[in-house]
Amino acid sequence: MSERILVGADHAGFALKQRLVAELERLGYEPVDVGPRALDPADDFPDYAKPVAEAVSKGDVARGVLTCGTGLGMAYVANRYPRVRAAVAWSPEIAELARRHNDANVLVLPARFVSEEEGMEILHKWLDTAFEGGRHVRRVHKIDAGTARP
């Protein structure tokens, strides 16, 4: 059985989301498109970040992908949920480090700052990179427990 990955976007990330869903299908994943179904300039990013973050938080899926103009709004919403570690990645290197060192389980792409081709490269790197574990485990536990020191 292939891995289910929820994918959501707002109007700024709509075109990139369509490509992400198609690419995940091509790679053998089972993308679940939480919307929007059509381009709507009046939509609100929290409406699409919430179902992805909730599913990851509850453990219904292991990973999710979000995209909006800067990626920031989606990350703000997603990171409010327990056990969600949403990372805005604008390069494959950032995506790799987010996975390897922080076990990022939600990838957030800034659609206004990456091309669709760059978005595909970032997605591939994030999907293909495993969590390194080791010294990073205690840090991830601190994030998830809300005990990181200021």
Query: Residues with catalytic annotation?
Result: 68, 101
Q: Strands 30-35 and 4-9: what pairing?
A: parallel
Contact call for residues 33 and 17 (beta carbons, < 8 A) = yes
Phi then psi for residue 129, to 5 deg, are -100, 130
Q: Could you please report the per-residue DSSP string of 66-92?
A: EEESSSHHHHHHHTTSTT--EEE-SSH
Q: Going by C-beta distance under 8 Å and a sequence separation of 6 or more, which residues neighbour residue 101? A: 132, 136, 139
Distance CA 82, CA 76 (A): 13
